[in-house]
Amino acid sequence: MYSIGEFSKITGMTVKTLRFYQEQGLLTPSAVDPRTGYRCYGAEKIEVARIIGELRTLDFPLAEITEILRADQAGASLLEHLERQQQAIAQKLANYKQINAALGRIIEQERQARTAMADASFDVEEKTIEPTLVAGIRMRGRYSDCGKAFGRIARRFGRHLCGKPIMLHYDSEYKENDADFEACMPVRMGADVDGIAVRQLAGGRCVTLMHRGPYDELGRSYAKVLDYMKTHGLAIDLPTREIYHKGPGMIFKGNPRKYLTEIQIPVRSA
Amino acid sequence: MYSIGEFSKITGMTVKTLRFYQEQGLLTPSAVDPRTGYRCYGAEKIEVARIIGELRTLDFPLAEITEILRADQAGASLLEHLERQQQAIAQKLANYKQINAALGRIIEQERQARTAMADASFDVEEKTIEPTLVAGIRMRGRYSDCGKAFGRIARRFGRHLCGKPIMLHYDSEYKENDADFEACMPVRMGADVDGIAVRQLAGGRCVTLMHRGPYDELGRSYAKVLDYMKTHGLAIDLPTREIYHKGPGMIFKGNPRKYLTEIQIPVRSA
DNA sequence: TTGCTCCTCACGTCACGTGAGGTGGC
DNA sequence: TTGCTCCTCACGTCACGTGAGGTGGC
């Protein structure tokens, strides 16, 4: 016979836990001194404690452990308990996997927003861009509808995504309600899936400018780019592009004054 | 301004939750009628509720959400919170993965024990066994030490395991304290790792008998097998094998009367 | 007497959910 | 008056942990 302290050392369970298990009717002492209230555990309780410990390691709730111990004789039910528990664990696992993936995406986005802010120059520049594989949805309507399209692409391509969202503008003039545009996201690989086209976006020479501020002030930056092109005798090669380096975050919408949008206009000598 | 019921519908949070968030100082109503106690939520609270909801989806504790909301202006801290949270989630994920794997192993073992019980014939038989890849630890000492060896192999080879534990006996006579034996477990693939040898176990002709009961009664079954071999003029080809189809379970030790052990003795015509 | 083990009882954790019992406005 | 929304207060969940305050045996 062991005192609760001794039994605690043997089983690796705290004294508090042992008292709690007694209260729950899960693991009762072999005897209790009626005068002092001292608990006594017999050697046969060690095996019971071991089983409880194993089942707790497998995250079984105490109520179910009580059931399993009671049904020990039957034996047949153990397998079913195990299978049910595996279901339960699999659910939690799936849940945390999802959370983990979501956190990964958000963190990545935040990091890129930081570096974009650090790297930006805010001057009109000419550069050569690389060809890029993108998944895109071409649409007509209002620019503000592009959010949903980016969302659809992101959900579909998940971990194959590899860059910021890009919008292609196919109109040569500004259109409010009937614009012709395409929401794209760079992907590592992939094929067409319901309404989303995967293709190579051509590279080449272009004029760029990083715009800082809300989207409704993009016009000012476009003016700067077009001035530059006129001065240098360059002509537009549609579609033009906008790259959203930093927009409303997933958590905080953030301050529109800090949004970063890169304007890219493919050009050829006029 | 919205009543708590309206705001609940807008945000998808229950009324109880909204009251709780107020109590926690997380999301306070824009106004409270001092006479009736009725809560009023302004439209600007919708965005706050959205952020709280997003962060709860990512499993942030309420206390940390409070912090994040307070530090919103700073902005810089969000990324660190996200990274810390990813750490926390990764831990839980790893924990549940481990539980899941353990459950899988135990379930598999229980299932195999069931089918073994259903298939066993309990007669001496001759059969041809297939070559098997095993991971084994050869040792000298007492048979009862094999448990640790099986444990080591199981931990090392984890998901590459593909069968019940096998013991090889290299002695031609019974030895109590200085037996020469090898604890093996079938594996799908693998290479030698500290003290564990991976190799092909030869197949061939052998005499088998399924023994049902405690290990200390194995002698009776060996007698039956040896009788059979004598009658049929067969000679032993060392090492002999024991396959533990059902022994003490991982959870319950179970009734030794129900243990199932297969004796396999490789033979050649004498 | 001191130090150790043991006892009970009450409360805290975490993010809410579940009533009970009652009020205010249409 | 009825039905609906809203209110507060107390308690439950889950598996313990953390004291506080006190007792028994060496």
Tell me the C-alpha distance between B267 and A63, whole Å. 53
pLDDT band at A181 (very low <50, low <70, confident <90, very high): very high
Pairing of strands A2-3, B31-32: unpaired
Q: In angstroms, how far is D6 C1' from B37 CA?
A: 8
Separation CA B270–CA B98 (nearest Å): 51
Please report residues of B whose CB lies closer than 8 A to that of A57: 99, 102
Rounded to whole angstroms, how far apart are CA atoms B171 and B6?
Answer: 82
Q: Is the CB of A1 under 7 A from strand C?
A: no
Give the per-residue pLDDT at A256.
Answer: 87
Q: Do B103 and A86 touch (CB under 8 A)?
A: yes
CA distance A67 to A77: 10
Give the C-alpha separation, A22 to B150, whole Å. 35
| Selected residues 25-54 of chain B with any CB under 8 Å from a CB in chain A | 47, 51, 54
pLDDT in tens, A237-266: 989 999 999 888 878 887 888 899 999 999
Q: How far is the CA of A38 from the C1' of D22 (A)?
A: 14
- What are the tokens at B47? 């965005």
Residues of A whose CB is below 8 A from B83: 107
A250 — contact with chain B (CB < 8 Å)?
yes
- What pLDDT score does A268 carry? 86
Cβ-based burial of B80 (10 A; exposed 0-12, middle 13-18, buried ≥19): exposed
Does B99 contact A at CB distance below 8 Å? yes
CA of A194 and C1' of C13: distance in angstroms? Answer: 48
What does the pLDDT read at residue B166?
96
Q: Which residue has the higher pLDDT, B83 or B172?
A: B83
- Kindly indicate the confidence band of residue B73, based on its pLDDT and cuts at 50, 70 and 90: low
* Interface contact A75-B252, CB threshold 8 A: yes
Asked if A101 has any chain B CB less than 8 Å from its own CB, the reply is no
Q: What pLDDT band is residue B72 in, cutting at 50, 70 and 90?
A: confident
Distance of alpha carbon B186 from alpha carbon A131, whole angstroms: 51
Chain A residues lying within 8 Å of B92, measured CB to CB: 96
Q: Which residue is nearest to nucleotide C25 (CA to C1')?
A: B36
If one counts every other C-beta atom within 10 angstroms of the C-beta of residue A198, the result is: 18
Mutate to test the interface with B, among A57, A93, A111, A253 (most CBs of B within 10 A): A93
A32 with A39: CB under 8 angstroms?
yes
**Out of B59, B104, B254, closest to residue A86 by CB:** B104
How many Å from the CA of B101 to C1' of C14?
Answer: 28
Residues of chain B in contact with residue A85, where contact means CB-CB under 8 angstroms, are: 103
Q: Which residues contact A218 (CB under 8 A, 6 or more apart)?
A: A211, A242, A261, A263
CA distance B93 to A98: 10
A20 CB-near residues (< 8 Å, 6+ apart): none
Q: What is the 3-state secondary structure (H, E, C) of chain A?
A: CEEHHHHHHHHCCCHHHHHHHHHCCCCCCCEECCCCCCEEECCHHHHHHHHHHHHHHCCCCHHHHHHHHHCCCCCHHHHHHHHHHHHHHHHHHHHHHHHHHHHHHHHHHHHHHHHHHHHCCCCCEEEEECCEEEEEEEEEECHHHHHHHHHHHHHHHHHHECCCCEEEECCCCCCCCCEEEEEEEEECCCCCECCEEEEEECCEEEEEEEEECCHHHHHHHHHHHHHHHHHHCEEECCCEEEEEEECCCCCCCCCHHHCEEEEEEEEEEC
In chain B, what's the furthest Cα-to-Cα distance?
Answer: 104
- B174 CA, D14 C1': Å apart: 53
pLDDT for the residue B114: 84
Q: What is the mean pLDDT of residues B148-154?
A: 91
- Identify whether the C-beta of residue B198 lies closer than 8 Å to the C-beta of residue B184: no
Confidence band for B248, pLDDT divided at 50, 70 and 90? confident
The residue of chain B with its CA nearest to that of A97 is B93
Task: Find, in chain A, the residue whose alpha carbon is nearest to that of B85.
Answer: A103
Strand partners, B169: B181, B240
Does the nearest atom of strand C lie within 7 Å of A37's Cβ? Answer: yes
- Residue B267: pLDDT above 80? yes
Q: If you measure CA to CA, which chain B residue comes closest to A51?
A: B251
Q: What is the pTM of this model?
A: 0.78
Nearest Cα residue to B265 out of B211, B207, B198, B210:
B207
Q: Residue B54: what residue type? A: E
Residues of A in contact with B86 (CB under 8 A): 100, 103-104, 107
Instruction: Answer whether B110 sits within 8 Å of A75, measured CB to CB.
Output: no
Neighbours of B49 (CB within 10 A): 21
Which pair of structure tokens corresponds to residue A190?
A: 């992939």
Judged by a CB distance cut-off of 8 A, whether residue B58 touches chain A is: yes
pLDDT at A230: 93
Query: What's the confidence (pLDDT) of residue A75?
Result: 62
> Which residue has better confidence, B45 or B77?
B45
Task: Measuring from the CA of residue B17 to each C1' atom, give the nucleotide at the shortest distance.
Answer: C16
**Residue of A251, A255, A258 to mutate, interface with B, max B Cβ within 10 Å:** A251
Burial class (CB in 10 A: 0-12, 13-18, 19+), B265: buried
